[in-house]
Amino acid sequence: MIAKLSSKHRRRQEARPQDHTVTGVFLTPLRSPLRTILCFLVVFASCAALYFSTPAKYSARMDLVVVAVTGPSQVASDRDISIDSAVQILYSDAVVGETARELNYPGRSTGLLDELSISPLINSRILRLFVANEDPHQALAAVSLLTENFLAEREARLVTLAQTRRSELQRSIDSLAQQVSDLDLTEISSADRREFLSELSNERTQLQFAIAAIDTLPPEPGFISRQATLPTTANRPSAPIYIGSSFGLAIILSFVIAPSRRVFAGFSWPTKTEQKSQQIRIQGSSNV
């Protein structure tokens, strides 16, 4: 009897490695179809409840179009702006924070940042702003004021940059004037003096033209905005994301929960015949 049981146990040990092959691993959920189906039902039901409990929001859109073109002059270069720098300005406290404070937005700047998305169009100079909110009027007001604050902040930065540039040019002109004064105290030939004064005069004229350009061409934001419209349709987050996440989570749980206890334990549970044999051996040892 003992030899027979040992032979059965040895055959099980020889057959067990097949369960650990690649095919065996992928077929693990099929060992208990009911548990696998239950995993999928529970996960999909939970994700569906989470999806429908998420409030639908209205999304207001505003388009910002770059109209500035880089030119040879400093003023034209300052007006030009890249999409990356525009995004940095939009996320600054001077724009997002000021907008949230003016509107008394729920959650203040953090709440507005959570509901704000910026999407630049590929191969274009168009920047799209989206603000999602349960109230369509709140979403429209937020995206409109956000655009106004962005244009104002962009223009303010350009004005500061222009004033800084003008101050640098004026200092250069003052330096040239000082060189002319110092030239009167220097003993040089008349020909060299005339040549040097001519060079200083030409340089001063160029600097004065640059200052005149800054004074006559005030900085502009470099962007124009398109009028936003009141959203009429509320949407929830993308359903395929929830479906894909649910499917992946259900597969993982089916690999964990579907296998029988013998897979977790790493060995086969004894049959009734083996249990009786063990009881006989225990009784025999106790009698001895």
For the stretch 74-91, pLDDT in tens is: 444 444 557 778 888 899
Say if residue 177 is in the same domain as residue 202.
yes
At 224-255, the pLDDT tens digits run: 888 888 888 888 766 677 777 777 777 777 77
Q: Is residue 25 part of a domain?
A: no
Q: Is residue 86 part of a domain?
A: yes
- pLDDT at residue 151 greater than cutoff 70: yes
Say if residue 1 is in the same domain as residue 72.
no
**Non-local CB neighbours of 134 within 8 Å, separated by 6+ positions:** 55, 56, 57, 58, 234
Say if residue 80 is in the same domain as residue 154.
yes
- pLDDT at residue 18 greater than cutoff 50: no
Q: Is residue 15 part of a domain?
A: no
Q: Any alpha helices (H) in 223-271, and if so which ranges? A: 239-257, 261-265
At 178-207, the pLDDT tens digits run: 887 877 767 777 777 788 888 888 888 888
| φ/ψ of residue 127, rounded to 5 | -120, 120
Say if residue 158 is in the same domain as residue 46.
no
> In this predicted structure, what is the pLDDT of residue 73?
47
Say if residue 200 is in the same domain as residue 117.
yes
DSSP state for residue 40 in the 8-state scheme: H
Q: Is residue 284 part of a domain?
A: no
Q: Which two tokens stand for residue 145?
A: 């004021």
Say if residue 69 is in the same domain as residue 177.
yes
- pLDDT at residue 174 greater than cutoff 70: yes
For residue 213, what are the CA distances in angstroms to 164, 166, 191? 14, 10, 34
pLDDT band at 283 (very low <50, low <70, confident <90, very high): low
> In this predicted structure, what is the pLDDT of residue 25?
52
Q: Single out the residue of 67, 18, 56 nearest to residue 223, CA to CA.
A: 67
Q: Is residue 285 part of a domain?
A: no
- Of 3-7, 58-62, 198-202, least confident by mean pLDDT is 3-7
- pLDDT at residue 11 greater than cutoff 60: no
Say if residue 142 is in the same domain as residue 215.
yes
What percentage of the chain carries pLDDT values higher than 70?
70
Q: Is residue 288 part of a domain?
A: no
pLDDT mean across residues, the chain: 75
Q: Which two tokens stand for residue 92?
A: 């600054």
- pLDDT at residue 99 greater than cutoff 90: yes
Q: Is residue 12 part of a domain?
A: no
Say if residue 95 is in the same domain as residue 219.
yes
The domain of 268 spans 1-7+32-54+238-277
The whole-model pTM stands at 0.61
> Structural domain tally of the chain?
2
Say if residue 104 is in the same domain as residue 188.
yes
Distance CA 260, CA 27 (A): 13
Q: Is residue 22 part of a domain?
A: no
Any idea what the CATH number is for the domain that residue 97 is in? 3.30.1890
The residue among 122 and 31 whose pLDDT is bigger is: 122
> In this predicted structure, what is the pLDDT of residue 195?
82
Say if residue 144 is in the same domain as residue 270.
no
Say if residue 121 is in the same domain as residue 209.
yes
Say if residue 109 is in the same domain as residue 223.
yes
